[in-house]
Amino acid sequence: MDFTVPEIAGGIIDAHVHAKQVDPWRSDDPVADLATDATRVGISTMITSVLGLGSYLATPTADDLVVANGWASEIVAGNAGFAGLVYCSPDHVDVSLELMRRHIAEGPFVGIKLWIARKASDPALDPIVSYAAELGVPVLQHAWYKTVGQLPGESTPADVAHLAARHPDATIQMAHLSGCGERGVLDIADLPNVVVDTCGGDPEDGMVDFALEHLGAERILYGSDAPGRDFGVQLSRVLAAGLDDDQLRAVLAGNARRLYTRLPAVDPTREQ
């Protein structure tokens, strides 16, 4: 099996990364560790959210959101290769909208992140998603189908489909292909404003191929969910699928660059 990555102008884009201030694994700086490991496998850009400085905060307070996004802003400003997502919560709509204004409309961030405070089918998300559509930035929405342990505010792909149908002008990046499974892919197959990222648990043979068959390569984005998962291991699930070079270029970078329009343009004179 050929695991060769084709030449990609601008390098690979990882569309699903998190950063936090604890648990470094190479140095005393977990952000530097992310950058080091990403570079080793050819990733040049990490689309990154901060869900909390230490542990991830499922139901953050308004102050938690301000602090988390403030640190994300510091990461983006101080480290080439990181592109920021505003962590938003439908429990704090006004604060979320203000943070989107500050960090996207008037700043360099490229999208927003919604986690598990409330399900995507909850209309409380609507003002946030509407503003994202107005700004022209994607919404990275957590989703998972679990046999047991589904959390109270945790979205399934069916919830994501509900959100996407309410907001046809918004681009929704449904997270965790392997957590959503075949059922999840079919839930959103008829909604062209939904794309999926490839992370979610351990690599599972056939899942990227299933998404390719039912969605097309143009609706699949490489994402690792690092640092919870390894960049290279998550990359292997894409390279092991039945994609040709043009499809690989789309999944590994082109689709993210097309959807995340605020990413810096590729410099054709820069060596990768």
User: What global pTM score does this model have?
Assistant: 0.96
Q: For residue 269, is pLDDT > 60?
A: no
Give the per-residue SS3 of 167-178: CCCCCEEECCHH
Q: Looking at the domain assignment, is residue 52 inside a domain?
A: yes
Is residue 268 a part of any domain in this protein?
no
- Residue 249 in domain: yes
pLDDT reported for residue 204: 81
* 1 falls within a domain: no
How many angstroms separate the CA atoms of 84 and 71, rounded?
10
- Identify the residue whose tokens are 């605020």: 262
Q: How far apart are CA 231 and CA 223, in angstroms?
A: 8
| Number of structural domains the chain divides into | 1
Q: Which domain holds residue 199?
A: 12-259
Does residue 264 sit within a domain? no
Residue 138 counted as domain residue: yes
Residue 266 resides in a domain? no
pLDDT tens digits for 68-117?
Answer: 999 999 999 999 999 999 999 999 999 999 999 999 999 999 999 999 99
Q: What is the pLDDT of residue 268?
A: 57
Q: What is the CATH number of the domain that holds 101?
A: 3.20.20.140
User: Each residue of 14-46: pLDDT tens digit?
Assistant: 999 999 888 777 788 999 999 999 999 999 999
Query: Domain for residue 3, yes or no?
Result: no
Q: How confident is the model at residue 271 (pLDDT cuts 50, 70, 90)?
A: low
Backbone φ, ψ for residue 169 (5° rounding): -90, -5
